[in-house]
Structure 1
């Protein structure tokens, strides 16, 4: 889009200053013009600019000099200055064709669609065959097309599409801060905060009081839940532009969100859990787009549920937090802890493994190993459940439970059952024997309870359930008898 050295005007009418001696200023200006033009040809644009400034001081009413300086400004990427000079040129000479081409070009580069269209229409009136008209018209149509698409996409909250459209606009309007900042605002909503801040910083490097750039930086801080620093930026925007409605709106939302969260935290510390829960829930309605802050609010609600031992609800709040912020380690670890409480060990292992991948700390490793150990234990047979007793059962409780279960599931009690039922009762009878064999032995029971030597213990369970049955009931007298005809030698058992 930049002008080429050949675009300067190499000739200029002599200008007479009535207050000077005849031809003195004009001649001096012409001599300097030759120097400036030669510097321009040699691409020494800064040096050329300095000389053009001197020339315009000598002849402030010569349009060609403004035109040449505009071309120099363009080569230095100072398009706003170039546009001002081109417009000054037209103001002095409304029929200066080359000045219109520069106005069109600079207007497109700085994103002034209306200015470009106006100048292009005037150029067509003055010189309909101008070779610059068609390519600049295509650039103008390109901008208008993607600006329309961006408006539609923004209304649908399709921020990725807006970013794409602004990139296409910036292909033409390379020096348009408005398009860049519109892109930056959408990058904020896409959580691409670093990219957005870089755009804002680049613009502020050139224009320290660009309110929209300051606003974008404030947005980044706010949506990263750095509310206090965000306040400083929004306040600065409102000092520079009191009618900046978007800054005022987000400033009010930030204040409200901070207040509700702090009130909830205070209630939580005082163990007023229902009040804290209600305040956090209310805070979640203030700004649905602030996903980082809202993730923390969901996590705070999860802490309340955990305090009340409502682990399923706590886990669900952690999941809600992670949907908003997938890298939220605290929520991930709390959800894993809830899974542990709910004895859903596979899910707990999954979460602890994910946490370990991100942060290979000693604590995370310990939690992962504990979850894996609990999962391994959970896959064993639950001997307490098989005997129908709790984990604090006494030796007598274990014996009584075995008597009851053994009699219920002994195969001879189900001699007339279907084949499927017989197999099921035989399986249960065997499990009852295994359970009694482990839980009746204090050492084996301790190892079982502690989860140690699981594989060795499982291999040791290959025992004859009938032998256990004989051993257990063979020492009891009294009670009633039944014929266990299916056992070797027609053995008869007595039950006490």
Structure 2
């Protein structure tokens, strides 16, 4: 028994120095790889050194430094914390722990670590600098929180970009930035940020929520709901995901209900349902733009043209690229005979989407504008554009007698001049609308003066005499006083 014990003890004593030596060899090899920036190989050697001697704080410190170079800050944080647990005076360990906290966005914890270093060495330059950086991150966080409350999303994005200069691995800051990018309508940028996070952590509920938010704001509501549900599976108490999911379902239901009412020609009901839909989520720009345009369509059917134009303007304000809203507004302008505005909208559409249909709409509006700037002979005679030949003759007879200068011979000079002008216009109108060729050219918007069948110089009295007969066949006589006349045939 005694001899056995004596034989065992020397074996243990001899073995222990070799383990330490092996660990040191692994560390030196790791250091060599680190210098050459072969961090993966360095990590392997430092891990072997720790396995050989898990009580050496410098091994954990070295591996932490390597993990930081690989961007694996959470693992590096664990190694740094283990290093300072083994040696509370290990300043590099405290510095690395603080740097990991700061890189992960925990500025307050980082500040405590840097303060610990300064307690050990008050003039430590790196600790002083990093403490200043941690203070800056805390300030950017406060500014971002205030900006979000005030819905100043651009300010939040700016603050998060500045904070991420120090907190390079902070998912929380990136997600807040992505959420604000989505709220600003910069969906591709927001999706790019959260996609990077989801590649690293597919269960991140906040990233899943923001991915759904982007889809929701791009009017891909069904896909958005799937992401919101997935986020709620990861975090059942996620308030934003729950609210967004509820709004998405409600908005989709209202929009579809309004569309069904419109298809059923119940325009009053559709108008009201679209109005209700617009109250669900003011942040959903694209969907609300479509709802505004839908309400404008229903409003146009109800002859609420002014309101329809306002709704189209609201839709365009939300989404300047929404062609359908420009087309709807242009049609409303046409219906209200606001042709210059209609031409402007159709021109915008045609230059955005150069199609034959849009070109035709633009030409039609331009022709209507051209017509609107000349005399409207149909209005002069008080007839519709599809009036028959007999209706045109009857209208001329009535208006010619109404405005004939002889009938107003007792009026003031100003009234006589005005009635004489109207009498002349009535003659012009009749000359054009009673001639099929001239009427056709007039209806097509052609200029009559240069056509060979134009008005030229004419005498309205000659047209009147031709219509009613030669001299001596008519006269105007008073019946009871100035201004009271009757027309008498001989």
2-structure distance, mates of 1:386, 1:18: 121
Alpha-carbon offset, residue 478 of structure 1: 3.5
Structure 2 vs 1, CA of residues 495 and 390 (structure 1 numbering), >3 Å: closer, same or farther? farther
2:463 counterpart of 1:468:
yes
Q: Which residue of 2 aligns with 1:223?
A: 217
2:265 counterpart of 1:271:
yes
| Matching residue within 81, 86, 90 for 1:92 | 86
Q: Does the aligned pair in 2 maintain the 1:231–1:251 contact within 8 Å?
A: yes
Q: Which residue of 2 aligns with 1:203?
A: 197
Q: Which residue of 1 aligns with 2:186?
A: 192
Q: Which residue of 1 aligns with 2:108?
A: 114
2-structure distance, mates of 1:192, 1:19: 67
Structure 2 vs 1, CA of residues 37 and 435 (structure 1 numbering), >3 Å: closer, same or farther? same
Alpha-carbon offset, residue 261 of structure 1: 2.2
2-structure distance, mates of 1:50, 1:196: 36
Give aligned pairs, total. Answer: 470
2-structure distance, mates of 1:419, 1:171: 84
Alpha-carbon offset, residue 99 of structure 1: 0.7
Q: Does the aligned pair in 1 maintain the 2:438–2:448 contact within 8 Å?
A: no
Query: Could you tell me the TM-score, scaled by structure 1's length?
Result: 0.87
Structure 2 vs 1, CA of residues 458 and 337 (structure 1 numbering), >3 Å: closer, same or farther? farther
Residue by residue over 1:419-438, the C-alpha shift from the partner in whole angstroms, topping out at 9 and shown as x without a partner, is 65555444333322211211
1-structure distance, mates of 2:73, 2:325: 50
Residue by residue over 1:198-254, the C-alpha shift from the partner in whole angstroms, topping out at 9 and shown as x without a partner, is 000111122222221111110001111111111111111111111211111111121
Structure 2 vs 1, CA of residues 360 and 85 (structure 1 numbering), >3 Å: closer, same or farther? same
SS class of match (1:456): coil
Structure 2 vs 1, CA of residues 391 and 131 (structure 1 numbering), >3 Å: closer, same or farther? closer
2-structure distance, mates of 1:221, 1:94: 50
SS class of match (1:55): helix
Q: Which residue of 1 aligns with 2:474?
A: 479
Query: Could you tell me the TM-score, scaled by structure 2's length?
Result: 0.88
Structure 2 vs 1, CA of residues 422 and 476 (structure 1 numbering), >3 Å: closer, same or farther? closer
Q: Does the aligned pair in 1 maintain the 2:438–2:453 contact within 8 Å?
A: no
Alpha-carbon offset, residue 413 of structure 1: 6.1
Q: RMSD of aligned C-alpha atoms?
A: 2.6
Gaps of 5+ in 2: 1-10, 478-486
SS class of match (2:124): coil
Gaps of 5+ in 1: 1-16, 483-492
2-structure distance, mates of 1:156, 1:20: 70
| Matching residue within 221, 231, 251 for 2:245 | 251
1-structure distance, mates of 2:179, 2:452: 62
- Structural mapping, 1:106-255, within 5 Å: 106-255=100-249
2-structure distance, mates of 1:54, 1:358: 64
Q: Does the aligned pair in 2 maintain the 1:298–1:318 contact within 8 Å?
A: yes
Alpha-carbon offset, residue 474 of structure 1: 5.0
Alpha-carbon offset, residue 91 of structure 1: 1.1
2:323 counterpart of 1:329:
yes
Q: Which residue of 1 aligns with 2:445?
A: 451
Structure 2 vs 1, CA of residues 131 and 369 (structure 1 numbering), >3 Å: closer, same or farther? same
Residue by residue over 1:42-83, the C-alpha shift from the partner in whole angstroms, topping out at 9 and shown as x without a partner, is 222221111111111101110001111111122222222222
2:283 counterpart of 1:289:
yes
Q: Which residue of 2 aligns with 1:7?
A: none
Alpha-carbon offset, residue 270 of structure 1: 3.0
2:28 counterpart of 1:34:
yes
SS class of match (1:480): strand
Structure 2 vs 1, CA of residues 95 and 475 (structure 1 numbering), >3 Å: closer, same or farther? same
Q: Does the aligned pair in 2 maintain the 1:56–1:62 contact within 8 Å?
A: yes
Q: Does the aligned pair in 2 maintain the 1:481–1:495 contact within 8 Å?
A: no
2-structure distance, mates of 1:256, 1:400: 60
2:297 counterpart of 1:298:
no
Q: Does the aligned pair in 1 maintain the 2:107–2:135 contact within 8 Å?
A: no
**Bigger mean CA deviation after superposition, 451-460 or 240-249:** 451-460
Q: Does the aligned pair in 2 maintain the 1:284–1:297 contact within 8 Å?
A: yes
